[in-house]
Amino acid sequence: MTRALPALALLLALAGCATTPPAALAPTPAKPVDMARFYSGVWREVARRPESLTDGCVAGTTEYTVLDANHVKVRDTCRAGTPAGKLKDIGGMGTILDPGSNAKLHVGYRVFGLFTVGRDYWVLDHDDDGFISTDPTFTRLYLYVRPDKDTPELRERLAARAKALGYDVSKLEYPAQP
């Protein structure tokens, strides 16, 4: 989720041009999300499947702020090349797609302040310290942890759970962290 380069903006814009939403291939989220706890504060992106939008992006985070029962402010950040590299960020408004369960989120990212590009994210599984996020097409995969809970054991547990859900976790990349 951590993208803010001009190339990113173009790719997101093109990706948002699809007229028919893709069929869902990802598993159904395992359990509901407590909005107040889950969609508040910072989560660290510790692993992801490679994609051109995140090339060179390290030390990624997503910060959530609950706005009301169905909306969340989202800010994604990363650093260029190294954890001390130039900060990149992009933000948008998230809308809960499954009120009550709160595990499916559509984010409308503002690109160059001119237009909005949408992305859907599903929280497939989570606990107090980490979560597995994907898109409905089962192509993207992200593992997140609370920054103060980041351990190799937690990363391994999340990757094992993603594998159990059907993902090829051998393709995960683990970007550098601070």
H/E/C letters for each residue in 109-131? EEECCCEEEEEEEEEEEECCCEE
Q: State the Cα–Cα distance between residues 144 and 157, nearest whole angstrom.
A: 12
pLDDT at 107: 97
First to last CA, the chain: 17
Amino acid at 42: V
Say if residues 12 and 92 touch (Cβ distance below 8 Å).
no
pLDDT at 51: 86
Q: Which two tokens stand for residue 169?
A: 């976790």
The domain 6-171 having CATH identifier 3.90.180.10: the answer here is no
E strands, 18-162, are 41-48, 57-68, 71-80, 87-96, 104-111, 115-126, 130-134, 141-145
31 backbone φψ class: left, alpha, beta (φ>0; ψ -120 to 50): beta
Say if residues 144 and 134 touch (Cβ distance below 8 Å).
no
Q: State the Cα–Cα distance between residues 58 and 47, nearest whole angstrom.
A: 10
pLDDT in tens, the chain (178 residues): 444 444 444 344 434 444 345 566 888 898 999 999 999 999 999 999 998 878 899 999 999 999 999 999 999 999 999 999 999 999 999 999 999 999 999 999 988 888 899 999 999 999 999 999 999 998 899 999 999 999 999 999 999 999 999 999 999 999 999 8
Closest CA to 103 of 87, 80, 125, 79: 125
